[in-house]
Amino acid sequence: MHRFTKSLLASAALSAASLLPAHAEIDVIKLKAAIGNSVEADYPKLDALYKDIHAHPEIAFQEVKTASKLAAEMRALGFEVTEKVGKTGLVAIYKNGDGPTIMVRTELDALPMEEKTGLSYASHDKTTWNGRETFVDHSCGHDIHMASWVGTAKTLVGLKDQWQGTLMFIAQPAEETVSGAKAMLADGLFTRFRKPDFAFALHDGPGAYGTITYRVGIGSSNSDSLEITFHGRGGHGAAPQHTIDPVMMAARFIVDVQSVISREKDPTEFGVVSIGAIHGGTAENIIPDDVRIFGTIRTFKPEVRAKMLAGIERTAKAAAAMSDAPAPDIRITEGAKAVMNDPAVVETAAKAMKVAFGDNFKTSPPGTPSEDFSEFVNSGVPSMFFNIGVYEPERVAAASNGTGPQLPSNHSPLFAPVPKPTIETGIEAMTLAVLSAFDQHARGK
Ligand SMILES: [Zn+2]
Ligand SMILES: [Zn+2]
């Protein structure tokens, strides 16, 4: 496997050998062609890896088999691999002379839900999650990220005479529960190993394949999770006068909390509260003692976040007070902070990507999902997080001008990226981002 990989990449390296004159800017067009050739030659193996990971997804902190598949790939490429960093994460280091350390992150985890794409490589796997049996699905596309991550590592090793420094490829567990990045940092990611000079990550989404979107500054939202238990007094559904009805309180809260968004928050600022789960009751004629609800709170700005948290708490207490019930238990757990893209890192990568991808490389508004990649950024690593599309451009155009159906987004059971062009774009974009950062650093000295 090692020999096979090396010989494939050796040809890519040779064809690109003279593309980076020591004191000039990188020749992006030639470099992109060299990267493209390397990826094309290696794609069948990446396709098999992608489909295997897709068919056998694992959820947060259970990604044992997924991590060992990636570990094998990276060892075959000559990376020094450490497993079980932050429970199921892995760190792969490749040293290639003096220079900066550049980190590239992929996530490992999938989601506890049933895939309904009908694809030949669809997942039928199940696991246990929060004490219940559930299907598992890579419906956030982290499998695309993993294939792109391995492909980028292969390409950069093949082009190793074009850069000097250290590659730090990390595979992070539990992104969906925004706890894996913290777990890796707590397990010494930046102390047992090293703190990188720059970091990059990508995420796929329902745009057109071949397109890449980015922005300077805020790249994703702040996320907080919300859990409220309304306490009532259970009894017979036919005699509510002897009870305090927590279903009523929860229902009232779920509707009224939206007035925090529409009446209290500045309408020009982003903020969302969504209730995703309601747990309460057992039968139609029994009023339960308690009802628990679970939700998510998303914002960009700290002052908007503070206003929303206060409004949510007030609304929950008021919903209970209206029923003359005890105060509810309110638990708001801070999740991921917004990812802030570093202007200098973005500028350097953007210059190369604009040349390589033309109009398919463009800025976008900040994404409303959250990302614990922010943990690495907030530890003081200048970073860039960018997005790639996954669907046929014609279908995306038809969906946006109303002549075709809406396309399934991430976390939909129908989310189905077109693998080859999506993974290829991921590898080309990430490889160029890393090479441009190495190049900028080399020329800056
Ligand atoms: Zn994701
Ligand atoms: Zn997700």
Name the pLDDT band for 21 (thresholds 50, 70, 90): very low
Instruction: Summarize pLDDT for 51-90 with one digit per residue, the tens.
Output: 999 999 999 999 999 999 999 999 999 999 999 999 999 9
Compute the distance from residue 92 Cα to the ligand 1 centre, in Å: 21
Neighbour order of strands in the sheet with 290-299? 271-280, 290-299, 222-231, 329-334
Please provide the DSSP assignment of 9-64 as one string: HHHHHHHTTTS--TTS---HHHHHHHHHHHHHHHHHHHHHHHHHHHHS--BTT--H
Compute the distance from residue 113 Cα to the ligand 2 centre, in Å: 12
Percent of the chain with pLDDT over 90: 83
Q: Is the pLDDT of residue 4 over 50?
A: no
Least confident of 128-132, 224-228, 238-242: 128-132
pTM: 0.83
Compute the distance from residue 138 Cα to the ligand 2 centre, in Å: 9
Compute the distance from residue 137 Cα to the ligand 1 centre, in Å: 12
pLDDT at 130: 82
The DSSP H or E segment spanning 94 is: strand 89-96
Which numbered ligand comes closest to the C-alpha of 144?
A: 1
pLDDT at 16: 44
358, β-bridge pairs: none
Compute the distance from residue 171 Cα to the ligand 1 centre, in Å: 13
pLDDT at 395: 97
Which numbered ligand comes closest to the C-alpha of 145?
A: 1
Which numbered ligand comes closest to the C-alpha of 205?
A: 1
Instruction: Summarize pLDDT for 141-181 with one digit per residue, the tens.
Output: 999 999 999 999 999 999 999 999 999 999 999 999 989 99
Instruction: Summarize pLDDT for 291-337 with one digit per residue, the tens.
Output: 999 999 999 888 999 999 999 999 999 999 999 999 999 999 988 88
Name the pLDDT band for 2 (thresholds 50, 70, 90): very low
pLDDT at 18: 44
Compute the distance from residue 374 Cα to the ligand 1 centre, in Å: 13
Compute the distance from residue 298 Cα to the ligand 2 centre, in Å: 14
Compute the distance from residue 415 Cα to the ligand 2 centre, in Å: 11
How large is the angle between the packed helices 28-55 and 419-444, nearest 10 degrees?
130
Which numbered ligand comes closest to the C-alpha of 202?
A: 1
Across the range 132-147, mean pLDDT stands at 97
pLDDT at 8: 33
CB neighbour list of residue 202: distance below 8 Å, 6 or more residues apart: 145, 148, 385, 386, 387, 388, 426, 429, 430
Compute the distance from residue 315 Cα to the ligand 1 centre, in Å: 31
Q: Around Cβ 371, how many Cβ atoms within 10 Å?
A: 24
Which numbered ligand comes closest to the C-alpha of 141?
A: 1
Name the pLDDT band for 22 (thresholds 50, 70, 90): very low
pLDDT at 13: 41
pLDDT at 173: 98
